[in-house]
């Protein structure tokens, strides 16, 4: 399963890229707005840092506007994947952009039928939002299981990109279900690294080693 970070923050991306574990980045208008400044420059810099797929979302809501914006975003860097919302206009824009060779990530997916329709429109990725489903009392991860099953049945090349991830349990479940990609906020990636027994264990190893060294002199 590929690991993307869900952020527009260059410092977070730089630190994760340096660890050698980062496969790509997803952004959205909310995340880029939080960073301020020139979003095209930020996207170009993200592409340089990650050298993998970088989702950049259109803000137009009509098909023609999404296609125009999608072409413009795709022109920023070859790593850009154009993100469009799951609407009828978005599905039409997805099909058009995909037929020009642009990779498209269909976002704001909350049902298996939406994911299936996006795959039929030749999306490279679909982004089901698990956390936001949990927020309304549903079980977001059930949707991932449904989508993975459907895509496997028909051998759709569209990748399942688990989004709106809130905790490491989402990450584990996504991997067990065979999702292709999980996009995770930097704070949750940090949680994935941590285990108190690792810290305690390391401290004990080092203490024992130091004690043994001291006994030698």
Q: Are 7 and 185 in contact (CB under 8 A)?
A: yes
User: Residue 211 CB, nearest distance to ligand G3P (Å)?
Assistant: 46
Q: How many residues of this chain interact with ligand G3P, rule: CB under 6 A?
A: 9
Residue 55 or 102: the one with the smaller Cβ distance to ligand G3P is 55
Residue window 114-143: x/- pattern of binding to ligand G3P, with contact defined by CB under 6 A: ---------------x-xx-----------
Residue 168 found at the interface with ligand G3P (CB under 6 A): no
Binding ligand G3P (rule: CB under 6 A), the pick from 105, 114, 124, 164 is 164
Binding ligand G3P (rule: CB under 6 A), the pick from 3, 5, 6, 148 is 6
Binding ligand G3P (rule: CB under 6 A), the pick from 9, 26, 39, 159 is 26
User: Residue 5 CB, nearest distance to ligand G3P (Å)?
Assistant: 10
Q: Which secondary structure element, helix H or strand E, spans residue 54, and what is its range?
A: strand 54-57
Residue 183 found at the interface with ligand G3P (CB under 6 A): yes
* 53-112 residues near ligand G3P, rule: CB under 6 A: none
Catalytic residues: 83
4: nearest Cα among 73, 83, 66, 120: 83
Residue 132 or 145: the one with the smaller Cβ distance to ligand G3P is 132
d(CA 78, CA 50): 12
Contacts of 214 (CB under 8 A, 6+ apart): none
20: alpha, beta or left? (left if phi > 0; alpha if psi -120 to 50): left
Residue 28 or 63: the one with the smaller Cβ distance to ligand G3P is 28
Residue 102 or 107: the one with the smaller Cβ distance to ligand G3P is 107
Residue 28 or 114: the one with the smaller Cβ distance to ligand G3P is 28
Residue 103: alpha-carbon gap to chain centroid: 14
d(CA 125, CA 115): 9
d(CA 141, CA 61): 28
Strand ranges, E, within the chain: 2-6, 24-26, 54-57, 80-85, 104-109, 125-128, 159-162, 181-184
Please calculate the CA angle 10-38-56 and round it to the nearest 5 degrees. Answer: 65
Q: Given the rule CB under 6 A, which residues bind ligand G3P?
A: 6, 26, 28, 129, 131-132, 163-164, 183
């Amino acid at each position: 399963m590929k690991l993307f970070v869900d952020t527009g923050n260059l410092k977070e991306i730089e630190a994760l890229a340096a660890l050698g574990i980062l496969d790509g980045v997803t952004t959205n208008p909310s995340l880029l707005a939080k960073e301020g400044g020139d979003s095209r420059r930020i996207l170009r810099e993200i592409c340089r840092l990650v050298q993998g797929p970088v989702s950049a979302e259109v803000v137009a809501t009509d098909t023609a506007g999404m296609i125009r914006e999608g072409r413009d975003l795709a022109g920023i860097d070859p790593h850009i994947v154009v993100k469009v919302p799951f609407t009828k206009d978005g599905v039409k824009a997805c099909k058009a952009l995909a037929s020009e060779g642009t990779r498209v990530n269909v976002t704001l997916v909350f049902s298996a039928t939406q994911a299936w329709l996006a795959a039929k429109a030749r999306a490279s990725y679909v982004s089901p939002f698990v956390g936001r489903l949990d927020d309304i009392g549903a079980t977001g991860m059930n949707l991932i299981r449904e989508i993975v099953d459907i895509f496997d049945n028909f051998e759709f090349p569209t990748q399942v990109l688990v989004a709106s991830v809130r905790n490491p349990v989402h990450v584990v479940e996504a991997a067990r279900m065979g999702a292709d990609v999980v996009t995770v906020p930097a704070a949750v990636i940090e949680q994935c690294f941590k285990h108190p027994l690792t810290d305690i264990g390391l401290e004990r190893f080092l203490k024992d080693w130091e004690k043994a060294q001291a006994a030698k002199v």
